[in-house]
Structure 1
C-alpha cells in the first residue's frame, strides 16, 4: 500500500475530481445559481482539496459566482482548466464587474468562434458515431479523470429541454462505461414522452448510482417505469431549499412578490397577463402592500419583459435585482414578501423555504408538474391557478386573498417542511460521498 495523506474522510481529497453537470451553462438563472452555491459548498466542505469542475460556457462568470469551482467548457476534447493567479481575478472582482465583461466578450466573439469550430471539426477525422437522432455527442475529455460525475439539480430531464437532457445522458453514460461513480441530485424528472429521449433515458438512467428527485408526485414513478431500481431513487426536495432556508427572516414580510415567466414552454396570453397585473395591483392597493418584481431568469431578459409590466403604474414598487446579482440577492428580496405570486418555479422554492406561501401560475403540463410537485413537498403552501381557464380574475383574486390571510399560520409548518427537505438532501449527498470514498479507498489500498 502506497502512502497518501488522508483527511477526516479517510481519503486524500486532493486526488478527488468532481465533474458537475450544471444544467444551465450560461449562468443566467438564479435558481440554478442557488443549486450551484449549495452543491459546490457541500463538496468543498467534504473534500477541501478536491477539484470541482463545472460545465459552462461562461468560465470567468463561473469563477465570479463560485470561486471554489473551476470551469470546464462543454465540447469534445475539453479538459480540466488551467490553474494560476489569473483565474483568481474573477473571484475577487465578483459577478457585477465580471458579468458585463464576460457578456460583451461573448457577444463579439461568438460568431467567429462558431465558424472556426466548424472549420476545425470539418478537418478532423470523425471519432464519434451519430446516434439514432443524428446527434454526435460532445463529451468533454475531463470525464476520463473524474472521481465522480454529478448531475446537479434542475428541471432539464424533460421533453421541454431535449438538448440538455440528451447531453446530460451522454455524459452520465460515458462515466458509467468508464466505471466512474455517477449521481443526479435535486432532479425534476419529466414529463418525458418523446420516443428518442425516452429510449435514451431508459438506456442510461438505470446505470446511475443514485438519483435524488425534488418531488414525489411524478418523478419516482417515471423512474421506475424506465427501469431504475427503487433503491437508487430518493426524494429530497430541491437542493436550493437549503440556501433560502438559511436566509429566512425573523419577521413576516409586508409585500407581495411577483414573477411571471412567458416562454415557449410557458405560454401566457396577453389577456391573461393583463388580468394578472390588474388583480395584483388591485389587491396590493387594498392591503397597502408594495409589489416586489422578482427576476429569476436573465436569459434574453425573459422574466423582466413579462414581470415588469405587471407592476407598471403601481405607487409602491420595490427595486429589482441587477442583471448579474446572485441567488442570495434574490432570496433577500423574497424575504420582504408575505405572499408570492409566480409563474416561475425557483422563486417559489425560495419563498416556501422561508415560510412564505405561493400562488402558482401555470398554462402547461410542464409547470403543472413543477408547481404541483412543489405543492406536494410543501402541503398547504401552494395554490395553483390555471391561467388558461375562464374566470381568471375571480380565481386569482380569491387565491391571493386566501394566502395573504393564512400566511402567518402557514409560516411555521412551511419552515418545518423545508428543514426536513434540507436534511433529506444532505443525507442523499452522504450517499454520494460514500460512493467516491469507498472507490478512492479501494484504489489506495491497491497501490
Structure 2
C-alpha cells in the first residue's frame, strides 16, 4: 500500500474541485490499496464529499486561506510545521492538481508550490497532472514554478495552449511536458435513478429535452464586469434560449461557496427570478459533482461559465460551450473538440458576452448542437484515454 498526498485542492464547496479530487482518488484506488490524503481548506466538509471515493482529508498545513479559516482548525505556525512534517514522513508520492492555480489570475500560484517543494527536498516523488499553467505576469512567479516543475517526476497539462506556453515562452523541453486532459473527465456519473430523482421536482422526466446554463457568481471579480450587468446578460440569454429553442433552461449552480462572492446559488436564483418564466428554473439542493454531471449529461446543450460544469457535460458526451474570462476555457474546449471546430463557436469572452448583444444572438441562433455532439463523440475516447494515461504513469512511479 502506498501513501499518496494530494495538493492543489481548495474546497469541495466548488463542485469542480470535488470533481477533480474524487476522480483522482478513484483512479488511484482502482487497483486497490492506496491510502489517499487530500489537503484542503475545508477538511470536514470535504471528508464527507470524498469518503465514497476512499479519501481522507486534512487541513492544508502548507497553505492557510484566511477566507476559509472558520472551516479549519486554528493552528500555530509551530503546529502547522509539525503536522506538515508528519504528513510528508508518511508520503510515498505527492500529486498536485488544481487545474489553473498556477497563473497570475488568482495570486495563489507560489503558495501552492510549498508542498511540492517540501516533498522534493525530501526526495519524495512528485507529479503535477492535468494543469493549465500561466501566463505569469511576475517573472519571479514563473521562475518559482519552473524550479518545481523541473524536478517533477511527471508533468502533464490539459490543453495545448499551456503546453505551448511552457515549451515556448518558459523554455521547458518538449519531452518534459506531456499533453493530457483534466482528471475530471473520469468522474463517475450519478445513476439514472438518482438523476431522475433530482430532475423530478422540476417537472422534468428522462424524455424531456432541456438546456443547462451554469452561471458563475465569482466571474465578475476577474473580468471587471459589474454584477448587475453580468446577471442581466445571463437573464437575456436564458429567456432567449427558451423562446428560440423551445425548451426549458435549467440553471446549474456548480459552486456552493460559503463566501457569498463565489456562491452560484445566489446568481442562479437571481436569474430565475428576473426571467419571470416557469421554463427558467434553478436546480435546488446540496448536490454532488456526480449529481450535476448526471443532470448535465442529459441536456441537449450546456452553456457554462464554470469550466468543470462544461467538463461534466463534455465527459458525458453532451455538447458544451463556455463563457469565460481566461485562456483555460477556450484551451480546454478547443482541445476537447479538436481542430475541426472553430473556437469562436464554442467559447465567448464574458466581457463581450455582457456588453455586446450580438454575442447572445450568436449563441442562441448559431450554435449547432448536433454537429458539436457528433464531433465530441468522436474525440471523447482520446480525451479520456489521455487522462487515464497519467494514472498509468503514476502507477509506475509507485512501483519504483
Structure-1 residue corresponding to 2:199: none
Structure-2 residue corresponding to 1:86: none
Q: Which of 185, 191, 216 matches 1:261?
A: 216
Question: What's the secondary structure of 1:400's corresponding residue?
Answer: helix
Structure-2 residue corresponding to 1:66: 50
Question: What's the secondary structure of 1:385's corresponding residue?
Answer: strand
Structure-1 residue corresponding to 2:336: 377
Report the TM-score when normalising by structure 1: 0.74
Question: What's the secondary structure of 1:337's corresponding residue?
Answer: coil
Cα distance in structure 2, aligned partners of 1:397 and 1:150: 43
* Aligned-pair CA distance for 1:423: 0.7
Cα distance in structure 1, aligned partners of 2:291 and 2:43: 21
Q: Which runs of 5+ in 2 are unaligned?
A: 196-205
Question: What's the secondary structure of 2:348's corresponding residue?
Answer: strand
Does 2:43 match 1:43?
A: no
Cα distance in structure 2, aligned partners of 1:267 and 1:252: 40
* Structure 1 stretch displaced more, 381-390 or 212-221: 381-390
Instruction: Write out per-residue CA displacement over residues 65-105 of structure 1, whole angstroms, 9 at most, x where no aligned residue.
Output: 22211122222699xxxxxxxxxxxxxxxxxxxxxxxxxx9
Does 2:105 match 1:160?
A: yes
Query: After superposition, where does 1:212-291 map in structure 2 within 5 Å?
Result: 212-222=156-166, 225-243=169-187, 254-263=209-218, 264-269=221-226, 270-291=228-249
Does 2:8 match 1:30?
A: no
* Distance change (3 Å), C-alpha of 1:127 and 1:432: closer
Structure-2 residue corresponding to 1:314: 277
Q: Which runs of 5+ in 1 are unaligned?
A: 1-12, 79-104, 129-137, 439-447
Instruction: Write out per-residue CA displacement over residues 34-88 of structure 1, whole angstroms, 9 at most, x where no aligned residue.
Output: 1112111111123x2222111123333333222211122222699xxxxxxxxxx
* Aligned-pair CA distance for 1:259: 1.9
Q: Which has the larger radius of gyration?
A: 1
Instruction: Write out per-residue CA displacement over residues 104-150 of structure 1, whole angstroms, 9 at most, x where no aligned residue.
Output: x985x86xx64xx4xx44xx69989xxxxxxxxx9453113211000
Tell me if structure 2 keeps the 8 A contact 1:205–1:226.
Answer: no
Please provide the CA RMSD for this pair: 3.2
* Aligned-pair CA distance for 1:30: 0.8
Cα distance in structure 1, aligned partners of 2:190 and 2:384: 10
Instruction: Write out per-residue CA displacement over residues 141-184 of structure 1, whole angstroms, 9 at most, x where no aligned residue.
Output: 31132110001242111112333x22331111121121111101
Cα distance in structure 2, aligned partners of 1:171 and 1:356: 36
Structure-2 residue corresponding to 1:57: 41
Structure-2 residue corresponding to 1:401: 365
Tell me if structure 2 keeps the 8 A contact 1:275–1:392.
Answer: no
Question: What's the secondary structure of 1:191's corresponding residue?
Answer: coil
* Aligned-pair CA distance for 1:318: 4.1
* Aligned-pair CA distance for 1:275: 2.8
Cα distance in structure 1, aligned partners of 2:393 and 2:21: 19
